[in-house]
Amino acid sequence: MNFSQSVPQPSNNIHCAEEKPRACGMVIFGASGDLTFRKLLPSLFSLFANGYLPDNFFLLGFARTQMRDEDFRQRIKDKLSANVSEAGQALDKFVELCHYQADDYQDAQAYERLNHKLRQLSRRYDVQDNLLFYLSMPPSMYQPILEQLGQNGLLDEGGEQSPWRRVIFEKPFGHDLPSSRHLETVLASNLKEEQVYRIDHYLGKETVQNIMILRFANSVFEPLWNRRYIDHVQITVAEDIGIEHRAGYFDSTGLLRDMFQNHLLQIMALIAMEPPVSFAADHVRDEKVKLLNSVHPLNPGELPEQVVRGQYSEGRINGEPVPAYRQEEGVEPESMTETFAAMKLFIENWRWKGVPFYLRSGKRLAARASEAVIVFKEVPHSIFHPLESEDLQANTLKMRIQPQEGVCLGIQAKRPGPKLCLGNLNLSFRYEDVFQKAAIDAYARLLLDAMLGDQTLFLRSDNIDIAWQLLTPILEDWRQGRQSSLPLHFYAAGSETGPEAADNLLNIDQRSWLPYT
C-alpha cells in the first residue's frame, strides 16, 4: 500500500488537550549508557524545546563512569548537536539543567550523597521535591537500587499535595514467568503500583495511540469491528537489521521474548479489547487485561499448527551480503535462538470467536516496517459478471506504526476506462504529510506521561503476568532444544516473509501474508 498517494488537509475542527506537568526533577540511573544518549536525552530535549517540560525542572544523571557536570553537559551537546536539527540556544539552556553524579550503584553511601544532592537541586530549581527516577539498568539491579532509594526516603509519598515519587522501568520484565513474578515481588515490596511505570516504547507511537481514537471516536468502525465483518487480523514487526552487537543479550533472549511478550501482544490487545468506560488509565488497562485473558491458551499438542520459529541464514540486504545469525560475532555456532517467530491466536469471546490473529516478527527481513492490518470479509456475492466475489480484493484497514506512521484504507473502486474496470484504491495519510511535522517521539510521549502521572500507556503487573502465561508453553517446548516439537526453520537474510513455514501457517487457512514493503 502506498502511503504517499494523497495528502489530505487537517480539519479546523481539532480538539487538542496537553497538560503541562508540575515542577519535578528527574534522575536517570545508567546515565552514561547508550539508551540515555540515543533515546532519553533527545526526547527530553524535544520536550524542552517545544515547551512541554515543567517550567521548574532539572535532570541528574547517575552512573559509574567518572564525569563532572561540565563533562556530562558537553557530551549531551555533542550528541544532540549532531542529531537534532536547529538545536541553537535552546540546547544551551537545556544542558544548564543537567547535572551528574558518578558513584557505585551498590554503595550505600552513594545514596546518601544522592539524597543530599537532590535536596540541594530541589531547592535550587524549586521542584517541590517531586522526583521521577528512570532505571535504564538490567533488572538484576532493580532490587539494590530500590532498596537504597527507599532507605533514604526517596520513594516516600504523602497525601495529594505532598511530593510525588515515580519510577520508570525498562523492559525486559523478566525472562520467563517465574522471574517476572520475582521481579514484581521486588517492585511491590518497595513501591505502590501507582508509582510504577513499566515502559514499552511501542505504546508511545502515534499510530498505536491512534488505534483507540480510530475505534472509539468514529462511529463508522465500531459496528464492523467484530467477527461478522472481519475475516482476520495481521500484525507485523519486521526489521532489516540483525542483532547489532547485542549477541550477549539477544542469544539468551530470542525474538519471542524480545518482541512478542510486549510489543505484539500489546498491539493486539488495543485492536481487540472492548470499549473502556473512559480513557482513564485503569479503565483502559482493565480492558487490555480482559482481552489477554480471553486468548485461547497455546496447548503443547497444538503448537505445531499455531507457532513457527526461524533463524536467518546468509543473504543480502539492500544488495549487500550479510552473515548468517550463527556467524554473527558472539553467537554460538550451533545456536537455536530464534530470530523470527509467527503465531496464530484466537480470542474466545463474542466479538472475536473464530477470527484468527496472525502475529509475526523477524530480523534481517526485506525492510523495516511495523503495522497492523484489519482484513475484512469478502463481499458475499458479486453483481459484476463475469467477476466472482473472490475476484474482488477484500477491504483492509492498515495502521502503519513505523517507519511512515499513518493509516490506509483499501477499498474497491472503478478505474478510468471500460465500463467494467475496478480495482483496489488506497485512501491513505501519513502524519508527517498531513501535519507538516514528524510525530512526537515515543519516548518523549511516555516521559511526559510519567511526569503527568498518566499510566495509560504503561504496562500493569497483571498484564505482564498474563502475557508470560500465554507464552510459557512455547518457551517450555523450546527448552527441549532439538527435541522440541517446533523445528527451527531457516530463511535467507533479506527474505520478505521469513521461513516458508510461516507462509504455510496462513496457507492452510486459505489466506496469505500481506506485503509490508
Residues 354 and 489 in one domain: yes
Residue partners of 366: CB distance under 8 A and separation at least 6 = 238, 240, 494, 495, 496, 517
Residues 152 and 226 in one domain: no
* Whole-number Å distance between alpha carbons of 477 and 185: 26
User: Looking at residue 223, what is its pLDDT?
Assistant: 92
Task: State how beta strands 488-492 and 307-313 pair.
Answer: parallel
Residues 353 and 481 in one domain: yes
* Whole-number Å distance between alpha carbons of 158 and 316: 58
Which CATH number characterizes residue 316's domain? 3.30.360.10
Residues 365 and 465 in one domain: yes
Percent of the chain beyond pLDDT 70?
93
Catalytic annotation, pick one of 99, 201, 232, 263: 263
Short-list 448, 457, 449, 455, CA closest to 52: 448
Residues 281 and 161 in one domain: no
101: left (phi over 0), alpha (psi -120 to 50) or beta: beta
User: Looking at residue 13, what is its pLDDT?
Assistant: 58
Which CATH number characterizes residue 166's domain? 3.40.50.720
Active-site residue 175, yes or no? Answer: no
Residue ending a domain, choose from 127, 145, 170: 170
Task: State how beta strands 57-63 and 24-29 pair.
Answer: parallel
- Average confidence (pLDDT) over 387-414: 84
Please write the tens of the pLDDT for every residue from 437-470.
Answer: 655 788 999 999 999 999 999 999 999 999 999 9
Cell of residue 87, nine digits: 538545536
Does a structural domain hold residue 414? no
By three-state DSSP, how is residue 288 classified?
helix
Cis peptide before 403 (omega within 30 of 0): yes
Does a structural domain hold residue 389? no
Please write the tens of the pLDDT for every residue from 128-176.
Answer: 999 999 999 888 899 999 999 999 999 998 766 679 999 999 888 899 9
Residues 240 and 372 in one domain: yes
Does a structural domain hold residue 177? no
* Whole-number Å distance between alpha carbons of 365 and 371: 14
Residues 214 and 132 in one domain: no
User: Looking at residue 6, what is its pLDDT?
Assistant: 45
What is the rounded radius of gyration, in angstroms, for the C-alpha atoms of the chain? 24
pLDDT at 476 over 90: yes
User: Looking at residue 437, what is its pLDDT?
Assistant: 62
User: Looking at residue 424, what is its pLDDT?
Assistant: 79
Residue partners of 328: CB distance under 8 A and separation at least 6 = 242, 243, 247
pLDDT at 19 over 90: no
Does a structural domain hold residue 392? no
Residues 34 and 79 in one domain: yes
User: Looking at residue 4, what is its pLDDT?
Assistant: 42
* Whole-number Å distance between alpha carbons of 253 and 244: 14
Short-list 307, 333, 317, 363, CA closest to 488: 307
User: Looking at residue 445, what is its pLDDT?
Assistant: 94
Does a structural domain hold residue 433? no
Residues 218 and 147 in one domain: no
Residues 137 and 235 in one domain: no
pLDDT at 104 over 60: yes
- Average confidence (pLDDT) over 88-93: 86
Task: Please count the other Cβ atoms lying within 10 Å of the Cβ belonging to residue 320.
Answer: 9
Cell of residue 145, nine digits: 537500587
pTM for this prediction: 0.91
Does a structural domain hold residue 86? yes
For residue 248, the one-letter residue type is G
Residues 45 and 162 in one domain: yes
Residues 346 and 266 in one domain: yes
Short-list 204, 234, 266, 307, CA closest to 516: 234
- Average confidence (pLDDT) over 471-478: 95
- Average confidence (pLDDT) over 255-261: 94
For residue 49, the one-letter residue type is A
Percent of the chain beyond pLDDT 90?
71
User: Looking at residue 439, what is its pLDDT?
Assistant: 58
Give the model's confidence band at 426: pLDDT under 50 very low, under 70 low, under 90 confident, else very high: confident
pLDDT at 207 over 50: yes
* Whole-number Å distance between alpha carbons of 30 and 9: 43
Tell me which residue range forms the domain holding 37. Answer: 24-170
Short-list 176, 492, 490, 515, CA closest to 309: 490
Give the model's confidence band at 3: pLDDT under 50 very low, under 70 low, under 90 confident, else very high: very low
Structural domain count of the chain: 2
pLDDT at 178 over 70: yes
pLDDT at 201 over 80: yes
- Average confidence (pLDDT) over 106-126: 96
Lowest-confidence pick of 88-102, 119-133, 434-448: 434-448
* Whole-number Å distance between alpha carbons of 28 and 62: 6
Does a structural domain hold residue 410? no
Does a structural domain hold residue 383? no
